[in-house]
Structure 1
Amino acid sequence: MELNLKGKRALVTGSSSGLGEAIARLLAAEGAEVVVHGRDEVRAKAVAADIGAVAVAIGDLATDAGADAIAEAAGEIDVLVNNAGVYGHEGWEDATPDVWRDIYETNVVSAVRMIQRFVPGMRARGWGRVIQIGGGLGSQPIPVQPHYSATLAARHSLAVSLARELKETGVTSNVVSPGAIMVDSVREWLTSHAPANGWGERWEDVERNAARDFVPNDIGRFGRPEEIAGAVAYLASPYGDYVSGATIRVDGGTVKSVI
């Protein structure tokens, strides 16, 4: 399916590996002019060369100086995918206020920095896409990772507020909400913990049993980065013109909702 992204310039934050890389790769394959972002210059340049990106932006989104450097390297952007973020495994007892503050700076304020640098240009040109990568823990948090869940909720909320702000401008704001995704680090963790949890020896059994224990869903497995990328590409395309302030869940049915 042709998504009509040729000539659109897209910045995917945190695209030097994992989920962000998969998003950048698909957008480039669909003809978008992709800017790869990361903090590791060697890794970011390697991804950029592999997918045929038009530029590389290196910088730390958690600082104003880093955001300025990224904006200068990226140029005018039509599609902004706020993917970069971190997560921690702390619970209520060990997630100190400093831990909360740091993760909010990285996961939420960094997105705001990108929005404030690129959305005015989109508005002036009369077309644009802002896509937040959120997550189901934002609406259905668990006892652990309260700080991470709170940042996901903030990402969802700011996306809807931005959509209202951009009413009738030709610029849309939406969220893609992944479930548990099988990136390299997740696969390594599952493999190392499989014996202790009795998940089996074959990879197919490990994935199915780990999904049952950690992220029970209707599909019975973890998601793939390419499946998230597909939802982002749809929203980035003209086929997403009539979608505003929405959350597209790509989680196998982990989050249960009738609306």
Structure 2
Amino acid sequence: MDLQLHGKRALVTGSTGGLGEAIAKMLAAEGAAVIVHGRDEPRARAVASTIAHDGGRADIALGDLTSDEGADAVYETALAHGEVDILVNNAGFYDHLDWNTAAPRNWADTYEINVIAHVRMIQRFVPDMRKRGWGRVIQIGGGLAGQPLPSLPDYSASLAARHNLAVSLARELKDSGVTSNVVAPGAILVPAVRALLERIAPRHGWGERWEDIERGAARDLVPNDVGRLGRPNEIAAAVAFLASAHADYISGAIFRVDGGTIRSVF
């Protein structure tokens, strides 16, 4: 399928590793010119170099999105080589906190990074999309937005805010040619997740081989209907589709890619 992304430019926040890196690489492979964003210049250049080596086009934009000054710097750098047609708000953060350890300051910091930073990018890039009559805004959310656990309360609440703001934005962008959607991953196998699961495997009795650990985690920790964790490219594929011309009729949607972790008949 031709996603018709040639000639489009995409900014993927937090794309120096993990899901963001996978998204940036897939968008580039589909023909979009990509702007790799992060705060670490060597990591950003490494991702951009890999994309270029594989035949894609990539620039970098550095900046801390938790301040207006940092967001302005990213905006100005991103526009240096052309307009931005696709904004993927992926940058985020969580710590392994619970109701006993997540102080109000932690809640505020999580909200600043995971929500307000996204709002800064929306308010800078969407007006230009609207003027041109075409654009894509894609939030990376998560299943914890709707089915939170006892742990990670601040992070789960920030995901719920991401989902909510994306639907509100879709209503605001009615008839504009700009869509707003969410891709909501389940548990995805990125290096940090693998390291965590390998560390806690002994106390859960999952064994020592990675295949057994993953199967045990998918059974006991993040139950789903597929029996494994997701892969970064599976999230990237959903983002690429929503960014494409084939998704013109999709807006205000929560696009779950979680192996059936979140279970609802509607």
TM-score by length of 1: 0.99
Residues 3-82 of structure 1 aligned to structure 2 (within 5 Å):
3-52=3-52, 53-75=57-79, 76-82=83-89
CA distance in 2, matches of 1:138, 1:49: 35
Q: Unpaired runs of 5+ in structure 1? A: none
Shift in Å, 1:192: 2.2
> Does the 8 Å contact 2:28/2:58 carry over to 1?
no
In structure 2, C-alpha distance between the alignment counterparts of 1:185 and 1:91, rounded to whole Å:
19
**CA distance in structure 1 between the aligned counterparts of 2:106 and 2:258, rounded to whole angstroms:** 27
**How many pairs are equivalent?**
259
CA distance in 2, matches of 1:193, 1:158: 35
Query: 2:194: which partner in 1?
Result: 187
Q: Does 1:213 align with 2:201?
A: no
Alignment match, 2:244: 237
Of residues 196-205 and 221-230 in structure 1, the stretch that sits farther from structure 2 once superposed is 196-205
Q: 1:4-48, CA deviations, whole angstroms, 9 ceiling, x for partnerless residues?
A: 100000000000000000000000000000000011100011001
In the TM superposition, 1:193-208 aligns within 5 A as 193-208=200-215
| Preserved CA contact (<8 Å) 2:65 2:117 | yes
For the residue of structure 1 that corresponds to 2:181, the secondary structure is strand
Please tell me whether the aligned partners of residues 55 and 73 of structure 1 are also in contact (alpha carbons under 8 angstroms).
Answer: no
Matches within 5 A, 1:124-139: 124-139=131-146
- Separation (CA, whole Å) in 2 of partners of 1:64 and 1:195: 45
Q: 5+ unaligned residues in a row in structure 2: which ranges? A: none
Within 5 Å, give how 1:55-134 maps onto structure 2: 55-75=59-79, 76-134=83-141
Cα distance, 1:193 vs. partner?
A: 2.1
Query: Aligned partners of 2:13 and 2:257: how far apart in 1?
Result: 19
SS in 2 for 1:221: coil
Q: Identify the range of structure 1 (102-111 vs 85-94) with the bigger mean alpha-carbon deviation.
A: 85-94
CA deviation map 1:139-194 (0-9, x unaligned): 01111111000000000000000000000000000000000000011111112222
**What SS does structure 2 have at the residue aligned with 1:54?**
strand
Q: Aligned pair in 2 of structure 1 residues 93, 192: CA closer, same or farther (>3 Å)?
A: closer
C-alpha deviation, 1:196, in angstroms: 2.6
Partner-residue secondary structure (3-state), 2:256? strand
Structure 2: distance between partners of 1:146 and 1:194: 23
Q: What is the percentage of aligned positions where both structures have the same residue?
A: 68
TM-score (norm 2): 0.96
Q: Secondary structure at the match of 1:10?
A: strand
Residue of structure 2 aligned with 1:175, choices 172, 179, 182: 182
Q: In the aligned structure 2, how far is the partner of 1:54 from the partner of 1:216?
A: 37
